[in-house]
Chain A
Amino acid sequence: MENIAGKKPALSWAKNIAMAAMVLIWVIPTFGLLVSSFRDRDQISATGWWQAMLPVELTARARTGTEATPDGPLFRVEGNIFDDEEARSYFSGTPGDISAFGTRGAEPTTYLAGTTGDLGDGETLTVNADGSYVWITPEKPGSRGQRVYFAAESPPKLTLDNYRTVLSGDNMGRAFLNTLIVAVPATFIPILVAAFAAYSLAWMEFPIRGLLIAGIVGLLVVPIQLALVPVLNLHNDIGVGQSFVGIWLAHTGFGMPLAVYLLRNYMAGLPRDIIECARVDGATDFQIFTKIILPLSLPALASFAIFQFLWTWNDLLVAKVFLPSADEAKVMTVKIADDLLGSRGGDWGILAAAAFVSIAVPLGVFFSLQRFLVRGLLAGSVK
């Protein structure tokens, strides 16, 4: 195929561009979320994440000082607006230049910086770009200075504050732990159970073996929805109820058909000679399984482990049904879908950080073990 493409440079160009466009569509949303999660709360609502590296114009408010010097019949107050604590609180770093100012909250940018604003009754206010101001008033200022609103550029700021908020408050740390507590046993137990079953279906002779294999293939597509009500009722009847034990058992059951199917396919492809030799040497099936089959099947076991881990870590439905709805028992997906998306719909920084906390582990697993994941997919779908 390459030689054909090489003959037509135009086609090769088109291919590169098409591929790049597709990759961009696939990557940009995630990248945007990553950038957003590091941005300051005020900056997120002021400009898009694609402008994260540019300064942001923020409006702030402050008061002038009150130490007036008489200036003929008038009083003159001078100072720098950034000496006011309230003004500084709007800016995380050194604030940039002031572009405009005003004295009413509804119109914070009435006058351009450097010009003099007429406040009426002979009162004037001048604010320069660097923050220095001159306020001239006919009356001696009292204990409070003049209210000033102004717009100034704030330098781009990346912080870990969102992550700190997410992990410290609101039980998100606990949810992370819960997810781990659900996912790890729900990955290991089915592998072990399925490996034994797969071996017996691949290498042991017994009646109705073919029927069982066909049945397991059939169960591959049974919708989980079907199991929710009867299994939850069963759990309640036998005293398991909504608990971690319940969700492990449920995940074990729901992951079992794929596990047995994948592992059986793999084990059936192992060379017959090895197993026959071991049998002749007097090894029992248990020994053959633990000493020969299990080590040889490691790639398939790893593939399924990755699937099951991703599936249990990312699951929302099973967790919603089989875990208690109390806050301490929530996993991250439930936490995000129910709590954050509902009540904090507007706090984008927190949402982004929470999403990244929840997808960091699967992404790590994905990029480090992608090889096994691909192999598992192929074993399951292509003969």
Chain B
Amino acid sequence: MNPIIQGLATIILGVGGCVGYFYASNLLLDKVLYPAKGPNIASNIRRANIIRPWLFIFPALLVLTVYLAYPVVGSAYRSLFNRSGDEYIALGNYLALFESPEFRRSFLNNALWALFVPVVSVTAGLIAAQLSDTLKWGNIAKSLIFMPMAISFVGASLIWKFVYAVDSDIGLINAVLAGLFGAGPIDVIQIPFWNNFFLMFILVWIQTGFAMVILSAALRGIPEETIEAAILDGANPFQIFFRIKMPQIFSTIVVVWTTITVGSLKIFDIVYAMTGGNFGTEILPSYMMSFMFRDDGRATSVALVIMIIVLPVMISNIRQAQKELR
């Protein structure tokens, strides 16, 4: 029981502390520092209103700085030092990375993930969205395809570990192979190169629901008139889909595509749970974790490589946000 009480106490303390901070700091500002009364009431209110935004935003800025902004600089700096962190070796870690065959393999595998997963997820999601919108039981179908979204990567890996199992009394794939073709059991996790695709499919299984939900909303947002006009002009369903609908939801597809791409660059759990990086399935995040706690210099340099790959997405996102603000 002790840990439960401890947990509850910390929840109350943590949440209470946050509420307390906001309440007390505003109280201090309004009642003590610049009270809205007395001779300088106007200037007091003005000053309080200059300070207040910063009171509101300070905790968020603090954690953002400490947990995301500083690490970018901190990791870049740390990656220039050796294993124990006491000797400056300039780009030594990076040079060692580029010479290592495992790094090259992780990099190529990761590139494969970043291509295959978005292509298949978005395509499958688009098909599911288009199909479910026209069927009576579409909502149930959607809900079931969306479900893996709630399952952890570890849980999903375990679910598929059953499907991929060599034993034909456990693994569905080998059961089908044995039952229909009489073929001997194969361990799909150990087939060189192709095993990567079996791991990627687990992520596809999770991400398709995400793509489907967003694309389905986008499809429904298409103005009816454009489709009606196309029907009157005698377009067939495929023409309507590819010529009328696709162009109109293109920007949404781009958003979904980049989100899934960035996600597939950061995924660590699936490879870790399925193969532990063996059998040629290493990708950058799992390669980095093999150095974590052992060689911080190498670990941070791998992390920085991931960051550099993600950088173009980051820049285009910022540009987009600035355009919208104006």
Contact = CB atoms under 8 A, between A and B. Distances in A.
A257 interface: yes
A226 B53 contact: no
A226 B154 contact: no
8 contacts: A46-B169, A174-B3, A193-B60, A197-B60, A223-B265, A223-B310, A225-B288, A359-B155
Interface stretch (B12-20, B112-120, B190-198): B12-20
Given A230-B74, A365-B150, A33 B231 contact: no
A-B pairs with the 5 shortest C-beta distances?
Answer: A253-B67, A230-B74, A314-B152, A197-B60, A366-B150
A333 B75 CA distance: 26
B133 to A, nearest CB: 7
B128 interface: yes
Given A1-B237, A310-B149, 7 more contacts: A19-B131, A193-B63, A212-B61, A221-B313, A256-B63, A256-B67, A260-B60
A230 B322 contact: no
Nearest to B304: A226
Nearest to A184: B11
A225 B266 contact: yes
Contact of A200 (B56, B74, B300): B56
Interface stretch (B87-95, B98-106, B180-188, B209-217): B209-217
Interface string B64-87: 101111111011001000000000
Contact of A316 (B71, B75, B152, B266): B152
A366 B149 contact: yes
Contacts of B163: 29, 32
Q: Which DSSP category, helix, strand, loop or mixed, fits chain B's interface?
A: helix
B19 A381 contact: no
B318 interface: yes
Contacts of B107: none
Interface residues of A, number: 119
Interface stretch (A10-18, A102-110, A145-153): A10-18
B287 to A, nearest CB: 10
- Say what secondary structure dominates the interface of chain A: helix
B108 interface: no
B124 interface: yes
A367 to B, nearest CB: 8
Given A48-B175, A381-B259, A234 B152 contact: no
Contacts of B50: 206
B152 A181 contact: no
B39 interface: no
Interface in B153-179: 153-155, 157-163, 165, 167-170, 172, 175
Contacts of A44: 169-170
Contact of A227 (B4, B22, B68, B302): B68
A218 to B, nearest CB: 5
Contacts of A289: 56
A229 B75 contact: yes
Interface in A180-229: 180-181, 184-185, 188-189, 192-194, 196-197, 199-201, 204-206, 209-210, 212-229
B: contact size bracket: 35 or more
B29 to A, nearest CB: 9
Contact of B152 (A185, A188, A362, A377): A362
Given A210-B322, A229-B296, A381 B266 contact: no
Given A2-B134, A32-B172, A227 B71 contact: yes
Interface string B266-306: 10110011000000000001001100100010011011101
A69 interface: no
A164 B144 CA distance: 28
Nearest to B175: A48
A59 interface: no
Given A23-B145, A355-B158, A225 B285 contact: yes
A348 B162 CA distance: 8
A193 B50 CA distance: 20
A382 interface: yes
Interface stretch (A85-93, A131-139, A155-163, A243-251): A243-251
Contacts of B66: 231, 234, 253
B147 A26 contact: yes
Contact of B56 (A197, A253, A363): A197
B134 A1 contact: yes
